[in-house]
């Protein structure tokens, strides 16, 4: 009787774990490429590097790293490129026309400062500190 909900709960945890792992792989794909490069740096420098026979260039496999990162960006970048030519509205201010009236002058007004340090007359039945604050 209680085995069915437990099975669904475990299945849900498994699905959530797989989806979270897939999202993390997508987000950290460049870091994975770089970590793989540093883990196999000697092998890449000796066997895969384009400049391994040229002693004047000390690439040490960085050409392969750059190639793999560029390949990773291209494989991820194709999904983000918009194919249609529609314009996107980035701000509502740029979408709606604004009314600009030429010749409007803004006037600054100076308000007098009240002389004296006494409070403004207010009815004490409404404007008073709370009772718990006075105790």
Q: Which helix (H) or strand (E) holds 3?
A: helix 3-27
Please report the DSSP string for 51-77 in residue order: TSS-SS---TTHHHHHHHHHHHHHHHH
Can you list the pairs that 84-92 forms with residues at least 24 positions away whose Cβ atoms lie under 8 Å?
A: none
CA distance 31 to 40: 14
pLDDT at 19: 94
pTM for the whole structure: 0.43
Tokens in use for 84? 């249609």
pLDDT at 18: 94
What DSSP character marks residue 91? -
Q: For the chain, 135 residues long, give each residue's pLDDT as a single digit of tens.
A: 456 666 777 888 899 999 999 988 888 888 888 899 999 988 888 888 887 788 777 788 888 888 888 888 887 765 555 556 666 666 666 556 666 666 767 778 787 776 666 766 777 777 777 888 876
For residues 29 and 76, the answer to whether their CB atoms sit within 8 Å is: yes
For residues 57 and 45, the answer to whether their CB atoms sit within 8 Å is: no
């Amino acid at each position: 009787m209680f085995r069915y909900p437990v099975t669904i709960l475990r299945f849900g945890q498994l699905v959530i774990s797989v989806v979270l792992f897939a999202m993390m792989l997508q987000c950290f794909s460049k870091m994975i490429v770089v970590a793989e490069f540093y883990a196999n740096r000697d092998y890449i420098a000796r066997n895969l590097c384009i400049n391994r026979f040229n002693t004047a260039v000390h690439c040490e496999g960085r050409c392969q790293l750059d190639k793999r990162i560029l390949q990773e960006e291209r494989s991820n970048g194709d999904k983000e490129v918009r194919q249609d030519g529609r314009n996107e509205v980035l701000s509502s201010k740029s979408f709606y026309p604004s009314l600009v009236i030429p010749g409007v002058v803004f006037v600054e007004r100076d308000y007098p400062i009240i002389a004296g340090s006494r409070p403004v007359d207010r009815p004490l039945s409404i404007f008073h500190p709370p009772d718990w604050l006075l105790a």
